[in-house]
Amino acid sequence: MPQTNVEKKKKFRSAKRMREIMTEYYIEAKTADQTGKKVAWITSGGPVEPLIVMDVIPVYPENYGAMIGASHMGGDLCAKAEALGYSTDLCSYARADIACALEDGGPIGGLPKPDMLVCCNNICGTVMKWYEIQARLFNVPLFIFDTPFCHVGFADEARRYARTQIDEYIGFLEGVCKKKFDFDQGMEVGRLSLKGQRLWQEVLDAAAHRPSPMTAFDAFFFLALIVTLRGTDKVVDFYTGLLEEMKERVSQGISAVENERYRLLWDNLPVWYRLKWLSDTFASHGACLVADTYTTAWCGSMQYIDENDFIGSMAEAYTRIYLNIGVDEMAKTIFAMIDKYEVDGLVMHSNRSCKPYSFGQYDIMRMVREKKDIPCMMLESHMVDERSFSESQALTRIDAFMEVIRQRDS
């Protein structure tokens, strides 16, 4: 069927560029053994900037997990991990990646083998276990950046511990790469990282406009670069272009969801194998998911970064990210997003794959109802294991939820 003009207008020009960049990136990573570059596997919330300084290619099993989910390969790979003895209740990113690493299955023929592993536990304890497994499998050095959990505030001793580990991390990289760390370049990479984060925040901010030029589903797609390549020119150039596109859309009145009537906030990681279905289902109700807590996490702790001392201040920024804080602190972030994006309802993804993100959601929901008086709903899944998702159940819930929102509107 030919695309209508409306549909054409809705496509982002930047999407093509983004695919090109990601393809180049994965080609470079997959040919590292020929170019002599080292590859580090790193967690999604990990401090990538020192790797960029050392000219090490960062590879993200979690980004790869998202690819697996989006290509509907998660269920099969998770089942393979289960056959190896991994419980079906474990994180589906981890299960899929563990199966891929052993069998070279999955998209793009698997990830390039790591020369080192960098694990930052600011997102969960799961990554520590996951990286232990890969450290045994690949028998390569493992660095754990241990970011003390900040239930309330950031204790002095946690600050010292986190800061000291940046020095240890640099020492670790110098040992594995057998060269000195260039602190001047560290400043430059830090500057680019911060610039990229600011641009990413501005892109997300564009959704505050009514009607919103983008949805959270677009954000889930465009997120890949700020996760994988922050600290490089490429990211800055790309998000500069994407931001321009957002501004154009706003000025031309292009809305991501036709006849946007309701604006919703998404909590937790995406359901990677039902992005389009969820997007279409909400859009059929005139509802746009304008923002989400997940993609905001990659620019949510900028206030702790000292532009003139990136390497010195990054420890705090990495420790105080969205997931590494108490439930009440997370709720405050959600309140602020509800106000900023003028949200009519909250959709919580109860993600069986991510306990630290999901436990506490019921309490946040109660607080949101009390403080913000908006309807909330919950959908349950394993984020890349499509066997766990019930479309009919989700549809019933979404319909009922939208009915409540409609009634309040009238």
Partner 1 sequence: MDILNEFIEVAGDPGAYARRIRASGRSVIGCYCSYAPEEIIHAAGLHPIRLFGTRGDSGIAEKHLQAYCCSLVREALAESLAGGLDYLDGTVFPHTCDSIQRLSDIWRLNTSHGFFADVVLPVKLTSESARQYLIDVLKRFKRELESSFGLVITKEGLGSSIRTFNTIRSCLSEIYELKSRNPGILTGSELFSIVRASMVMDREELRGKLQALLRKLREDVPGREGRGRRLMLVGNACNHPDIYDLIERSGGQVVWDDLCTGTRWFSGMIREEGDPLASIAGRLFERQVCPSKHKSPTARGEHLLAQAREHGAQGVIFLYLKFCDPHSFDYPYLKACLDGAGIPSMLLEIEDRLPPQGQILTRIETFTQMLGPETRTAFTGASQTGREG
Does position 146 interact with partner 1 (CB under 8 A)? The reply is yes
- DSSP class per residue in 210-255: SS-S--HHHHHHHHHHHHHSTTSHHHHHHHHHHHHHHHHHHHHT--
Nearest to 288 by CA among 278, 297, 298: 278
- Nearer of residues 293 and 358 to partner 1, judged by Cβ: 358
Interacting residue with partner 1 among 96, 158, 225, 287 (CB under 8 A): 158
Nearest to 75 by CA among 386, 391, 389: 386
Shortest Cβ distance from residue 192 to partner 1 (Å)? Answer: 28
- Applying CB under 8 A, which part among 3-11, 26-34, 117-125, 232-240 lies near partner 1? 117-125
Dihedral (CA of 274, 280, 281, 283) sign: positive
**Residue 150: DSSP 8-state:** B
Nearest to 47 by CA among 185, 169, 131: 169
Shortest Cβ distance from residue 130 to partner 1 (Å)? Answer: 7
Residues 298-327 that bind partner 1 (CB under 8 A): 326-327
C-beta atoms surrounding 226 within 10 Å: 22
The conformational region for residue 104 under phi > 0 = left, psi -120 to 50 = alpha, else beta, is left
φ, ψ for residue 233, nearest 5 deg: -60, -40
Identify the H or E element spanning 97. helix 92-103
- Nearer of residues 183 and 359 to partner 1, judged by Cβ: 359
Shortest Cβ distance from residue 165 to partner 1 (Å)? Answer: 6
- At residue 363, the 3 state secondary structure works out as helix
Query: Looking only at Cα atoms, what is the longest distance across the chain?
Result: 67
Shortest Cβ distance from residue 56 to partner 1 (Å)? Answer: 21
- Applying CB under 8 A, which part among 70-78, 121-129, 273-281, 336-344 lies near partner 1? 121-129
How many whole angstroms from its chain centre is CA 282?
21
Interacting residue with partner 1 among 11, 160, 179, 210 (CB under 8 A): 160
Does position 221 interact with partner 1 (CB under 8 A)? The reply is no
The identity of residue 214, as a single letter, is M
Residues 336-365 that bind partner 1 (CB under 8 A): 350, 352, 355-356, 358-363
CA distance 43 to 212: 31
Shortest Cβ distance from residue 123 to partner 1 (Å)? Answer: 10
- Nearer of residues 286 and 360 to partner 1, judged by Cβ: 360
Does position 168 interact with partner 1 (CB under 8 A)? The reply is yes
Q: Judge whether 215 and 288 are in contact, CB under 8 Å.
A: yes
CA distance 2 to 17: 23
Interacting residue with partner 1 among 41, 64, 130, 266 (CB under 8 A): 130
Site string for partner 1, 62-101 (x = CB under 8 A): ----------------------xxxx-xxx--x-------
Residue 235 half-sphere exposure, CB side, CA atoms within 13 Å? 27
Shortest Cβ distance from residue 315 to partner 1 (Å)? Answer: 11
CA distance 345 to 343: 6
Does position 133 interact with partner 1 (CB under 8 A)? The reply is yes
Site string for partner 1, 27-66 (x = CB under 8 A): ----------------------------------------
**Binding residues for partner 1, per CB under 8 A?**
84-87, 89-91, 94, 121, 124-126, 128-130, 132-133, 135-136, 142, 144, 146, 148-149, 151-152, 155-158, 160-161, 164-165, 168, 326-328, 350, 352, 355-356, 358-363, 380
